[in-house]
């Protein structure tokens, strides 16, 4: 079988904005998998797949699927609506409109900026330079494995809660790799140590490291 043969299975379209920013929308990796499945079924004309159908395409159980669906409903990202077909029959369908409205609102507040000189809008960030995604990829390359959702959340917290400069985090990662300590806990200890020493810039950290080599 060749790739072109498998192409006949079709493709699923998904917004890059969702791929880049789903953690900021408080969507878990498992919930994103469910969303992808719902989109795949919908784009093939199946708007209300069973839990068994969805589970068959994933490593999740039917009970996992049911819990994830309820979670998305509770978060206001998914609704189950009704429609009437041409024969007058009433049926249900999964509606992700609320999710994409949340995404639109997030992008409008955090990503889309006004260019006053030209009175146009532009995207100030993208899938490639989203700092959480960029740092996650860097850690995965250095650690030689995928990060868990909890580890990804910790990286996000370094940026949004601790307000560490991404360049400082990369320096801490480099120090951890040099010490052959492939864990976020070790990186976190390095960052805390630099914070205690009031090191806020790359130049300050580099000077500190040279002094303590």
- Domains, in order of start, for the chain: 3-102 (1.10.10.10), 131-211 (1.10.10.630)
**pLDDT score for 197:** 94
For helices 166-178 and 184-196, the axis angle rounded to 10 degrees is 120
The C-alpha atoms of residue 83 and residue 106 are separated, in whole angstroms, by: 29
**pLDDT score for 145:** 85
Token readout for 78 is 């998914």
User: What angle is formed at CA 140 by the lines to CA 139 and CA 144, rounded to 5 degrees?
Assistant: 120
Token readout for 37 is 């499945």
Q: Which helix (H) or strand (E) holds 82?
A: strand 79-84
Q: Counting Cβ atoms within 10 Å, is residue 108 exposed (0-12), middle (13-18) or buried (19+)?
A: exposed
Phi-psi bin for 116: left (phi > 0), alpha (psi -120 to 50), beta?
A: alpha
**pLDDT score for 15:** 83
| pTM across the whole model | 0.57
Could you tell me how far CA 162 lies from the centroid of its own chain?
A: 19
Alpha helices, DSSP H, located in 95-130? 97-110
Instruction: Spell out the per-residue pLDDT of the chain, length 213, in tens.
Output: 554 555 566 788 888 788 888 888 889 999 999 999 999 999 999 999 999 999 999 999 999 999 999 999 999 999 999 988 788 889 999 999 999 999 988 887 766 544 444 444 444 444 555 788 889 888 988 998 888 888 988 998 999 889 999 999 999 999 999 999 999 999 999 999 999 999 989 999 999 999 887
């Amino acid at each position: 079988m060749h790739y072109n043969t498998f192409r006949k299975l079709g493709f699923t379209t998904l917004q890059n904005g969702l791929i880049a920013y789903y953690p900021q929308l408080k969507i878990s990796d498992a919930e994103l998998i469910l969303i992808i499945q719902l989109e795949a079924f919908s784009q093939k004309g199946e708007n209300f797949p069973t839990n068994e159908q969805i589970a068959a395409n994933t490593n999740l159980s039917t009970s996992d699927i049911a819990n994830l669906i309820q979670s998305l409903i509770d978060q206001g990202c998914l609704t189950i609506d009704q429609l009437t077909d041409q024969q007058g029959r009433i049926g249900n369908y999964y509606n992700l409109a609320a999710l994409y409205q949340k995404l639109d609102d997030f992008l409008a507040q955090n990503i889309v900026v006004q260019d006053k000189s030209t009175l146009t809008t532009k995207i100030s960030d993208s899938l490639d330079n989203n700092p959480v995604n960029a740092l996650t990829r860097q850690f995965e390359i250095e650690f030689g494995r995928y990060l868990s959702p909890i580890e990804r959340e910790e990286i996000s917290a370094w940026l949004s809660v601790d307000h560490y400069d991404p360049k400082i985090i990369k320096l801490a990662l480099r120090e951890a790799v040099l010490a052959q300590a492939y864990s976020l806990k070790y990186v976190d200890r390095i960052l805390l140590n630099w914070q205690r020493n009031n090191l806020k810039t790359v130049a300050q950290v580099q000077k500190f490291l040279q002094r303590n080599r």
